[in-house]
């Protein structure tokens, strides 16, 4: 058991009574199943046939999330390129040593040892001399958005180090940073590469992290890695190893006023659909130039309905110039002029902010753009789809249940079909969890009612299908909701040990407004801990659009799809209907009939991959007919 796990156990056992009435603290992410989709499939046993030439540069703007790009790095080591774990990074992507393997699982059961490794491809330094004044530079941070990490000690090392490979093939340590336990701001380090033993044709460098192998609590991040000579013109100083670069750093804030997704029909039902959008979206930029001269700045904003809708622009506000080395400057986009079409088909909307400066270096241009996607579909969500921490509800040996809940608002009466939640594996596998709906209590300022309106208990399966990170829990019957309602999850007393808690993913990059996040432990209150206030539950209620009643079997029998199985996605419907949608095997809507095609006998499903689907036909009287369709292609 790690020191932090032992500490959690002691707090739980010694403070059992005092824990009633407050939430369990946000904890390190025990695993991240989404990482499995980034696992490199090609063999990681060979390196590039030709060594790289100088300059070597990577600010990790690509990929947007996943393994570091093979052009620069060996395809192994567990490091995650992302824009969500670091705190106030220099540029919008970093490489995080998150203590998880490439498949999202931990390195072991306990103790401290080596964790993630990031190794460069070979770099040709042959013919170089000390007179070239090569410098290796990078930014580094200890800790992450959640906070600090364990402090290093003589018995448990928590560190990040850099090694160089010499001309005999031996790795030699050239830098070591031990954790003090606190999160640091990003700091810059330069190392001279002038020793003859490193000036050879197969030079490599690597970063190595050491820490707790049982959780991902010991995080480090690096950014803006560069190996190059000093600038050839005066002044020849270390700071000249930086490019003149203005870079976006912070993730772009959301498009929707209340979360990252909402049902398209609820968006359209608003008296003023524009009120469902944020009045502004924002990010931050850093001026990495330390020359002492100001840098002119221009920003633009745009929005597009994917995949190929027209591009609309929106105005942005930013300083006209950035002074040398100015950091975390806010850039804001005004969304008041944005109008989305009031049409019934689901939409994925991408909005974008671009920084336009006087840069000419193509290596730094990608960090001048930041995008974010929002969805108008059939569900509500606050989270951005990624978990940076765990949140569990302690199990007490007392009567009563403990729950977390989020507040939602519908613009017209609707029904909740199911709730999607993000269990953390393997800890949650095989455990029972209950999802609930509560009405708002008008007698207590609209907080959740004490009485549950609807409840559904499910056992978390051993695993989720490949590519799926949310577990969908359907109610036995759709739950009517109107105005404000609350959706949540929880579990009852299952014993005294803290291992009886069930962890779920918690998004630390999406803070929610006051009055949105609630806990019942017992009695309703808002969490008071700082990490809980800074993020949101990964919990998504799915609505029905009041399409509830199933047509009688005698009516359904008069409808058919052909050809079925279908070889090309061109499907003909036998029978009159009003609207069609296609669901995948997990019940998710993967195709919605465009407005101009509603009720037509031909469905163009050529964009869907081969598989088994359910075609849901809504009739004129709101009855539904569902038919199984096999696409072979």
Task: Please report whether residue 414 resides in a domain.
Answer: yes
**128 located within any domain:** yes
The pLDDT of residue 548 is above 70 = no
CA–CA gap between residue 606 and residue 568 (Å, rounded): 6
Domain-embedded: residue 18: no
Tokens 């309106």 appear where? Answer: 453
Domain-ending residue, one of 342, 377, 412: 377
* Average pLDDT score, the chain: 86
* pLDDT one-digit tens code per residue, 175-225: 999 999 999 999 999 999 999 999 999 999 999 999 988 878 899 999 999
* Structure tokens given for 562: 């052909």
Give the domain extent around 441.
Answer: 389-543
Residues 531 and 571 in one domain: no
Q: Which residue has the tokens 């939602």?
A: 408
What's this model's pTM, rounded to 2 decimal places? 0.80
| Residues 338 and 282 both lie in one domain | yes
> How many domains, in total, are found in the chain?
4
Flag whether 3 is in a domain.
Answer: no
Q: What is the predicted pLDDT for the residue at 85?
A: 94
Rounded to whole angstroms, how far apart are CA atoms 493 and 496?
A: 8
**pLDDT value at residue 551:** 82
Please report whether residue 23 resides in a domain. no
Read off the CATH number of the domain in which 415 is found. 2.60.120
| Mean pLDDT value across residues 540-561 | 87
Q: Are residues 580 and 520 in the same domain?
A: no
Q: Which of 242, 266, 291 is the last residue of a domain?
A: 242
% pLDDT > 90, the chain: 58
Q: What is the pLDDT of residue 231?
A: 63
Q: List the one residue out of 528, 403, 503, 397 whose CA is nearest residue 8.
A: 503
Per-residue exposure over 74-112, b if at least 16 CB sit within 10 Å of its own CB, e if not:
bbbbbbbbbbbbbbebbbbbbbbbbbbbbebbbbeeeeb
Spatial CB neighbours of 350, under 8 Å, sequence gap ≥ 6: 303, 304, 306, 371, 372, 373
- Are residues 156 and 46 located together in one domain of the fold? yes
Residue 371: closest CA among 253, 242, 199, 227: 253
The verdict on 175 and 324 lying in the same domain is no
* 87 falls within a domain: yes
The helix or strand, by DSSP H or E, that contains position 14, with its residue range, turns out to be helix 3-14
* 252 lies in the same domain as 368: yes
Q: What is the dihedral of CA 336, 366, 100, 393, to 10 degrees?
A: -10
């Amino acid at each position: 058991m790690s020191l932090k796990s032992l500490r959690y156990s002691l707090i739980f056992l010694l403070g059992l009574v005092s824990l009633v009435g407050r939430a369990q603290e946000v904890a390190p992410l025990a695993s991240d199943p989404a990482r499995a989709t980034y696992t490199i499939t090609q063999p990681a046993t060979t390196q590039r046939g030709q060594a790289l030439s100088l300059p070597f540069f990577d600010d990790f703007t690509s990929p947007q999330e996943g393994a570091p790009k093979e052009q620069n790095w060996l395809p192994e080591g567990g490091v995650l390129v992302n824009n969500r774990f670091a705190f106030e990074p220099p540029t919008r992507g970093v490489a995080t040593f998150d203590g998880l393997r490439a498949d999202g699982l931990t390195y072991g059961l306990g103790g401290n040892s080596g964790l993630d490794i990031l190794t460069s491809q070979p770099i040709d330094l042959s013919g170089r001399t000390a007179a070239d004044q090569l410098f290796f530079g990078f930014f580094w941070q200890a800790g992450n958005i959640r906070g600090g990490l364990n402090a290093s000690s003589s018995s448990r090392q928590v560190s990040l180090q850099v090694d160089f490979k010499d001309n005999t093939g031996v790795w030699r340590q050239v830098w070591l940073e031990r954790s003090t336990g606190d999160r640091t701001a990003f700091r810059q380090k330069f190392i001279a590469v002038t020793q003859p033993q490193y000036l050879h044709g197969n030079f490599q460098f690597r970063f190595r992290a050491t820490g707790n192998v049982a959780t991902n609590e010991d995080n480090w991040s690096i950014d803006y890695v560069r190996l190059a000579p000093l600038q050839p013109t005066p002044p020849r100083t270390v700071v000249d190893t930086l490019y003149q670069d203005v870079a976006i750093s912070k993730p772009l804030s959301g498009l929707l006023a209340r979360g990252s997704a909402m049902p398209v029909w609820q968006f359209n039902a608003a008296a003023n659909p524009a009120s469902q959008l944020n009045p502004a979206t924002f990010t931050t930029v850093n001026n990495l130039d330390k020359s002492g001269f100001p840098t002119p700045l221009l920003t633009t904003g745009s929005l597009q309905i994917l995949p190929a809708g027209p591009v609309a622009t929106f105005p942005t506000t930013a300083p006209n110039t950035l002074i040398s080395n100015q950091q975390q400057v806010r850039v804001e986009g005004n969304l008041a002029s944005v109008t989305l079409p009031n049409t019934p088909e689901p939409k994925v909307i991408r909005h974008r902010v671009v920084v336009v400066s006087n840069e000419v270096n193509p290596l730094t241009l990608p960090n001048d753009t930041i995008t974010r996607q929002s969805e108008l579909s059939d569900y509500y969500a606050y989270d951005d789809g990624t978990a940076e921490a765990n949140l569990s509800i302690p199990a007490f040996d007392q009567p009563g249940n403990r729950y977390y809940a989020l507040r939602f608002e519908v613009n017209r009466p609707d029904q909740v079909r199911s709730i999607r939640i993000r269990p953390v594996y393997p800890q949650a596998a095989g455990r029972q969890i209950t999802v609930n709906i509560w009405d708002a209590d008008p007698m207590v300022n609209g907080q959740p009612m004490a009485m549950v309106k609807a409840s559904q208990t499910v056992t978390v399966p051993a695993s989720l299908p490949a590519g799926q990170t949310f577990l969908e829990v359907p109610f036995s019957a759709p739950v009517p909701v109107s105005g404000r309602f609350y959706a949540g999850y929880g579990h009852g007393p299952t014993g005294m040990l803290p291992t009886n808690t069930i962890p779920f993913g918690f998004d630390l990059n999406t803070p929610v407004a006051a009055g949105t996040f609630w806990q019942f432990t017992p009695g309703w209150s808002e969490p008071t801990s700082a990490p809980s206030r800074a993020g949101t539950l990964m919990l998504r209620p799915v609505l029905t659009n009041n399409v509830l009643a199933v047509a009688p079997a005698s009516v359904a029998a008069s409808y058919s799809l052909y050809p079925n199985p279908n070889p090309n996605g061109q499907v003909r419907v036998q029978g009159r209907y009003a609207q069609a949608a296609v669901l995948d095997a997990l019940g998710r809507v993967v195709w919605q009939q465009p407005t101009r095609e509603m009720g037509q006998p031909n469905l163009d499903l050529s964009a869907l991959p081969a598989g088994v689907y359910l075609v849901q036909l809504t009739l004129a009287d709101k009855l539904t007919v569902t038919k199984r369709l096999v696409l072979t292609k």
